[in-house]
Amino acid sequence: MSSQFYFTILIALATLSACSNESGRERSLMRMEAVDFSQVSVDDDFWGPRLQRHASTTLAVCIDQIENQTGRIRNFELAALGRGEHSGIFFDDSDVYKALEGIAYSLINHPDSALERKADEWIDKMAASQQPDGYINTYYVLTGLENRWTNMDKHEMYCAGHMIEAAVAYLQATGKRKLLDVSIRMADHMMDTFGPGKRHWVPGHEEIELALVKLSQATGQTKYLDMAEWLLNERGHGHGSKGGDGLWDPAYYQDDRPVREMTDIAGHAVRCMYLYCGMADVAAMKRDSGYIAALHRLWDDVALRNMYITGGIGSSRHNEGFTEDYDLPNREAYCETCASVGMVMWNARMNRLTGDGKYIDVLERAMYNGALAGISLEGNRFFYVNPLESDGHHHRQEWYGCACCPSQASRFLPSVGGYVYGTSEDALWVHLYMGNTAEINAGGRSLRLRQSTRYPWDGDVEIEILSVSSAMPGEIRLRIPQWCRSWTVEVNGRRLSPPVDKGYAVITGLRQAADRIRLHMDMPVEVIAADPRVKANLGKRALQRGPLVYCAEEIDNPGGRSSTLLSASDSFETLFADSILGGINLIRTASGPEPATFIPYYAWDNRRAGWMQVWQTFSEDR
Ligand code: FUB
Ligand code: ZN
């Protein structure tokens, strides 16, 4: 199911009864609530070591880069003094906020008082740099406050949005609200300056919209939600197009038409993702079916015509975004890490709006492939661009001049626990399979459960209800991934045949703590053909097993690229190799004279440099 490959095509435009622009805010349209990262402690053999390395290595790399190798913290110190030279790019503050958000998530699984002190120290410096009127942005404080709010492209609201996200995460993780108070003052400053009857404004890089919704939820103040909606509705009316640097047309900024009229993804990929997240959040709270209809159109355009098999998006380096439908070159693919993380964020929201598992299928694809490839196995190097083919010269780096992707990886990895579960009135939703203990407080009930699994290496999952404060939820909904063709489920050893609703097996009749659910999903190697309109993949096939897309690397295939040829008569064997790449399931062709070897795409470029390719030449017979 994507533009780049065939699977079952699911186009299910939800029909919504809510009226456009209805003002009632009594109830969100979201079909379910996410279970916050702070309630889920992830500890399995796949994610556990990654989260550990994130805490021990990734954050240390980011902190070192932010404090010592670059002047990002110095910018805050100078801005607090009100004098000095700004260093770096005008939106570098955002990397500090994103790393801080990553620290907040990390503190849940890895409490660390020294790290928390570091975060508090950063927050003190941020707060000290805030201007008396609430404005905060080191670039303009140090280069001339008189120029602030004159150029839509200068990311002032983007930086503010990342600050708000960090503030909300840090409050959830630690209970400390100093940065939240700073954020409130900045949000109030923005609302004093812009809004109905005040100045027009179109943020050139979205992010503030979703952040204002978070701020609204954290403070209970609907005015921030209203501001998010106002900003979304500013787009497409000519208010922003004169403010940029003149390099790009309005479509690059998603400012060429009102958001509710959008039909096709266009322009810069990360901006699109953050925009769609903001639209979904506002639509849910405002019960706006116009936004939701636009999101469904956009989702089809992304998932069916513009997405790589890795869940990556954005084929063009030129605009860090889109060209035309089905233009999905492999070697030149841009697939920015931030955009894959954006796909995770947006699809989580679409799932919450609709209760449809197809969004988690895309989320999982982006999470395990496009996004996870963005960070090295040791956690100390990052990809910005994620091609699906390389001649051996594309490598992760410790940092980038524009460091949006390293800081994105630093907040994405430890946030994965927040995508595992959802709750609705009388149901617990299990979206993703990863080992964790969760303490879920929702609907007046507190539920403790343990999920155990070797996923993504096999498809066996056990969920044990450890305790429940009152009656069990009426339903437990287990996602049956789209890649899975055959599965079974047992409760307390008894095989069930539950109904499946929009990709979820609906288990009812659970009564008590100690109830145990076992899900088995067959996980064979799948040979995937691209949509024939993707010229780059004509005559090629890719391998996928469970949620993981596989690739061939030179080091495992010394016979050269031609040795990875796939044919219709191939059979495959899988082999868990615990000494390779941190422990992976290899795939080998079990037929043909010279077996070819394939590794998960996320793990490429962690050994000796060499060529890599996801799509292999295919012939009907060998
Ligand atoms: O402009 C901020 C971030 O830097 C964007 O999201 C990335 O694409 C990179 O350009
Ligand atoms: Zn990035």
Nearest ligand 1 atom, CA 268: 8
Task: Judge whether 2 lies within some domain.
Answer: no
Q: What is the pLDDT of residues 326-347, one digit of tens each?
A: 999 999 999 999 999 999 999 9
Q: Are 432 and 565 members of one domain?
A: no
For residue 404, report the distance from its CA to the centre of ligand 1, in Å: 6
- Name the residue among 260, 299, 262, 298 with its Cα closest to residue 21: 260
Query: What ligand has the least distance to the C-alpha of 412?
Result: 2
Q: Hunting for tokens 């410096």 — which residue is that?
A: 125
For the stretch 283-306, pLDDT in tens is: 999 999 999 999 999 999 999 999
- Give the ligand with the smallest distance to the CA of 162: 1
556 with 426, same domain: the answer is no
Catalytic residue from among 234, 320, 475, 526: 320
What rounded mean pLDDT belongs to the chain? 94
pLDDT digit string, tens, across residues 212-242:
999 999 999 999 999 999 999 999 999 986 6
Residues with CB under 6 A from ligand 1: 91, 205, 270, 320, 336, 338, 402, 404
279 C-alpha to ligand 1 centroid (Å): 19
Least confident of 106-120, 239-253, 377-391, 586-600: 239-253
Q: Please state the atom number of ligand 1 nearest to the C-alpha of residue 320.
A: 8
Q: Is residue 15 part of a domain?
A: no
Helix axes 269-286, 208-219, angle to 10 degrees: 40
Residue 245 confidence (pLDDT): 74
CA 407/CA 173 separation, integer angstroms: 18
Q: Which residue has the tokens 């409490």?
A: 111
- The answer to whether residue 3 scores a pLDDT higher than 80 is no
Q: C-alpha distances in angstroms, 35 versus 111, 438, 449?
A: 20, 9, 13
Probe ligand 1: pick from 208, 404, 407, max atoms within 8 Å of CB? 404
pTM: 0.95
Cα separation, 93 vs 95, whole angstroms = 5
pLDDT at 24: 34
Residues 156, 209, single domain; the answer is yes
Task: Check pLDDT > 90 for residue 5.
Answer: no
Two tokens at 56? Answer: 């021990």
- The helix (run of H) or strand (run of E) holding residue 230 is helix 222-234
Q: Which of 505, 521, 537 is the last residue of a domain?
A: 521
User: Do 530 and 498 belong to one domain?
Assistant: no
Q: Is a pLDDT exceeding 90 seen at residue 13?
A: no
Residue 611: pLDDT band by 50, 70, 90 thresholds?
A: very high
Ligand 2 centroid – CA 384 distance (Å): 6
Query: Which pLDDT score, from 0 to 100, does residue 372 have?
Result: 98
In terms of phi and psi (left: phi > 0; alpha: psi -120 to 50; beta: otherwise), the region of 22 is: beta
Residue range(s) defining the domain that contains residue 570: 525-619
Active-site residue flag, 404: yes
- Fill in the DSSP letter of residue 551: E
Kind and range of the H or E run holding 576: strand 572-577
Q: How confident is the model at residue 354 (pLDDT cuts 50, 70, 90)?
A: very high
**Which of 521, 553, 575 is the endpoint of a domain?**
521
Q: Decide which of 521, 552, 587 is a domain's last residue.
A: 521
Q: Average pLDDT for residues 98-121, to the nearest whole number? A: 96
531 lies in the same domain as 481: no
Task: Supply angle C-alpha 4, 343, 329, rounded to 5.
Answer: 30
What 62-70 contacts at long range (C-beta under 8 Å, 24+ apart), as own/partner pairs, is: 62/95, 62/99, 62/102, 62/406, 62/407, 62/410, 63/99, 63/118, 65/398, 65/399, 65/403, 65/406, 66/95, 66/96, 66/99, 69/399, 70/399, 70/403
Which residues have a beta carbon within 5 Å of ligand 2, which is an ion? Answer: 336, 338, 404-405
Question: Is the same domain home to 605 and 516?
Answer: no
Same domain, 483 and 545: no
Count: domains in the chain: 3
Q: Taking residues 550-568, what's their average pLDDT?
A: 95
pLDDT bin (cut points 50, 70, 90) of residue 14 is very low
Question: Does the pLDDT of residue 18 top 90, yes or no?
Answer: no
Give domain status of residue 121, yes or no.
Answer: yes
Same domain assignment for residues 534 and 487? no
Asked if the bond preceding 111 is cis, omega within 30° of 0, the reply is no
| Structural domain includes residue 112 | yes
Mean pLDDT for 123-145 is 98
Whether residues 97 and 176 fall in one domain: yes
b/e map 362-371, b = 16+ CB within 10 Å: bbbbbbbbbb
Atom of ligand 1 nearest to the CA of 205: 1
User: Ligand 1 center to residue 214 CA distance, Å?
Assistant: 21
- Whether residue 97 is predicted with pLDDT greater than 80 in this model: the reply is yes
Whether 169 and 138 share a structural domain: yes
Asked whether residue 514 is assigned to any structural domain, the reply reads: yes
Same domain, 144 and 226: yes
Give me ligand 1 centre to Cα 352, in Å.
Answer: 27
* Residue among 224, 230, 164 nearest 197 (CA): 230
Q: Given 404, 405, 484, 551, which residue is catalytic? A: 404
Residue 48 belongs to a domain: no
Residue 243's pLDDT is what? 59
